[in-house]
Amino acid sequence: MTTTLAMSGQTVLVTGATGGIGLATAVALAGLGARIGVVGRDEQRTAAAVNAVLAVPGSGGADPFLADFSDQ
């Protein structure tokens, strides 16, 4: 018996979502129907991650959030 966790209607904020485990997490959660808040430091990489999330069938959508704390 396979159980699927439906995340439809949920919003998840994923930090470090522009690569590695963060991006894999964002894509996997999008595949479950969640809307993803993609947090990254680089504008181009963040936009690319948003596009990757939006390309997932069943994705609930994605929003970019830039969080560059190099100059506090």
Tell me what pLDDT residue 6 has: 84
Q: For residue 62, which amino acid is it?
A: A
Tell me what pLDDT residue 68 has: 76
Question: Sorting pLDDT into bands at 50, 70 and 90, what band is 69?
Answer: confident
Q: Give the dihedral sign, CA 57/53/8/2.
A: positive
Q: What is the pLDDT of residues 31-68, one digit of tens each?
A: 999 999 999 999 999 999 999 999 999 999 999 999 97
Distance between CA atoms of residues 13 and 18, nearest Å: 12
